[in-house]
Amino acid sequence: MKGKSLFNINIIFFLICLAVVFLIHLGGSKIFAQEEEIIIYPQVLYSDPSPDNPLSMQATNVPLSQEITITFTQPMDADTVDEAFHFYQEGTDEFLNNLKYNGLLYIEGATLTFIPSSDLAPGTTYWIKIKSTAKSAQGAPLDGDGDGVGEEGEDDDWKLMLTTVGESIISPPPPSPTQLPDKWSEVYGQKQGLSGKVTSLAIDGQAHLWVATYDPYGLYRLNGQSFEDKISSFNYSPINGFLCLAADRQGSLWVSPDTRGQSDPNAPRLARWNEGIWQKVSAKNLGLTQDEAILKIAFDSSATAWMITSEGRVVSYNHKNGQVISYPSEAIDPYAMLSGALLVDNQDNVWVGSAMSGVYKLPKGKDSWEYYYDNSFPPYTTWEISADYAGNLWMGTTIGLLKLAPSKGTPGEWTRYTMANTGQGLPSNVVRSLAVDPVRGKVWVGTAAGLAKFDGQKWTNFAKEEVSNLSDKNITALLVTPTGDLWLGTDQGLMKRDEVSPYIVNSFPADGGQIKDRIRITFSEPMASDTVQRAFTLMDAVKATIDPNNAGEFVWYNDHTTLEFIPSSTLFDGKTYTIILDTSQAKDLAGNPLSAEKDKITFFVQENQRSGPSFTGNDNDVTLSGSGCFINSVMRHQSLASSWLRRLWELIQHLRVYLA
């Protein structure tokens, strides 16, 4: 009986095994097929700028201030899209000259936004490329050609060609990346589209530099390194030139066109550039005579324009309500003879210069003027007035540079700087132009004999050849930018002096992050590569120094504003390292040292970065440390099959025990 029962058990076991094989043969593929993942490849749904013709993938007449927005059909993986995004000018290398580092790149969900740090060049062709290595949040590669399959090749790269509005203008050539030249740029002149002698400079709220010239007269805006001629947009003729430029405290640019001698009562004497349109104010509306011009403009905090005219009057104009107030010279002082110098200080006090020594002040909210002078000085004319944040008044005169320091209970304390008492630091005693850097305390002085700088203690005379290669010594206009750079106008054109220390804009990954195969450091301006590499120190967690030349490779991009350090296999996975840049050695192309605000970056080398995908987990959970939909799908099926067969085997064992 026992033998017969064992025989029956074996028969049942054999039949069950046959059934299992049959089910696996007929239904196993269907079971697995139910788990097969359908891959939906991401595509570009929309772009701004959009192509004129979807078949041509070309956008024309793109605004110079264009921001780039690209919308995908599904959320994307930010890291892979960042690596895959290229924006470059036609004819340049897409890797070495990738302009994405010259702006802000945001990737959030299914939207990419790129905001260039400056306007695009006019009449220029650019390319936007997103390589097919960009992946969705689910790991599917980009389907750039829209055929429904992402194949990670050049055919699946998404591309858009865009051409900006305007005519292409010659720009100054970039400096050598390894040479440290003098801090002066080359002269911007006729070769770059700027004609005439510079008379006035101003910067608007969008950080555009405006330039007025004469002989011949002109009005230009510097966009990046390209000049735009704004004469044609003014749309009024005839004009004898533009006498001065100024920006109000809200950033709007104002100009004073010289339209004297015309019988037209609507001839403009003042104009405001507002969102691409000139808003003109006539001589009649300002109460000016037919032969009266505006020599100087300054603004108070309410955007009221204060002006000195060629007939020696001070006029205020509120463009919001059209109110005009006039102060004839005799109302200021019966003996007043104004020189044309004008300043509105931070307290909204109005200062004007005298042609017969001293300055006049109209306190805010008052109607009567005050006179300031030092009778120990010989007679002089005040040509220019400026002020620093400490409240000191600086005046360019015919007897040198004067300083009026505020003092309680007295009109103020006067100081006179001349060629004699500055040890020839001042090139000439006749100071015609002046610019004060209120943040850094530098005073720039322009004379017909050259340029000088006073930092509060030390004078630097740039007229001396051993100090500077400044070619034109007749300084006609000076302007300090908010960042501290100096623009200088001469009879030959325009020059710029780099006075700003570079700094680290960002690093990828961020400080303290993990690297995959490299670390990228973006600087605020082009760097002298050899100085940065000499300043580069690599340390491990125990602060032992590692020679970076033996531990990796340096690669520079984007006119030497971006450095990539690619670690070699000598760096161990799972370890922390620190990059330190010696700020006294790392310099920009003008020789300015790296700012110490950010000079250290710590990064972590991920484990298994060079060993390929690896798998960990238990019977019910398999995790892939790499990526790829195909590999994930295969591993998921292997896991499912293993788990299903194991449970079936356990069931058979239980049946055998039960039947026995």
Which H helix or E strand runs over 532?
helix 529-535
pTM of the model: 0.59
Q: What percentage of the chain exceeds 70 in pLDDT?
A: 75
- Among candidate residues 92, 225, 81, 102, the one with its CA nearest the CA of residue 562: 102
* Level-2 CATH architecture, domain 44-164: Sandwich (2.60)
Q: Inform me whether the pLDDT recorded for 176 exceeds 80.
A: no
The predicted model gives 279-290 an average pLDDT of: 93
The answer to whether 497 touches 488, Cβ cutoff 8 Å, is yes
Position 514 scores a pLDDT of 56
At 472-486, the pLDDT tens digits run 788 999 999 887 788
Same fold, 44-164 and 504-605: yes
Q: Does 644 score more than 80 pLDDT?
A: no
> Has residue 614 got a pLDDT over 70?
no
The helix or strand, by DSSP H or E, that contains position 278, with its residue range, turns out to be: strand 277-282
pLDDT at 182: 54
Picking from 525, 551, 526, the residue whose alpha carbon sits closest to that of residue 536 is 551
Q: Which pLDDT score is estimated for 543? A: 66
* Mean pLDDT for all residues in the chain: 78
| pLDDT tens per residue across span 492-541 | 888 888 777 888 877 765 545 455 567 788 888 888 888 888 888 777 77
Distance of alpha carbon 400 from alpha carbon 424, whole angstroms = 12
Q: Which residues contact 423 (CB under 8 A, 6 or more apart)?
A: 459
* pLDDT at res. 223: 77
Task: Report pLDDT digits (tens) over 21-45.
Answer: 555 544 444 444 444 567 889 999 8
User: Using N-to-C axis directions, what is the helix angle for 2-35 and 629-659, rounded to 10°?
Assistant: 160
Q: pLDDT (tens digit, 9 = 90+) per residue, 40-91?
A: 899 998 899 988 766 668 888 898 888 899 999 999 999 899 989 999 888 7
Contact 18, 35 (CB under 8 A): no
In angstroms, how far is CA 630 from the centroid of its own chain? 41
Give the pLDDT of residue 635: 29
Phi and psi at residue 172, to the nearest 5°: -60, 140
Per-residue pLDDT at 381 exceeds 80 = yes
Q: What's 78-135 look like in SS3?
A: HHHHHHHEEEEECCCCCCCCCHHHCEEEEEECCEEEEEECCCCCCCCEEEEEECCCCE
CATH of domain 504-605: 2.60.40.1220
Examine the pLDDT at 634 and tell me if it is beyond 60: no
Looking at residue 384, what is its pLDDT? 96
Count CB-CB contacts under 10 A for residue 89: 15
Do residues 512 and 602 lie in contact, with contact meaning Cβ atoms separated by under 8 Å?
A: yes
- pLDDT value, residue 257: 93
Domain extent listing, the chain: 2-36+614-659, 44-164, 504-605
At residue 293, the pLDDT reads 93
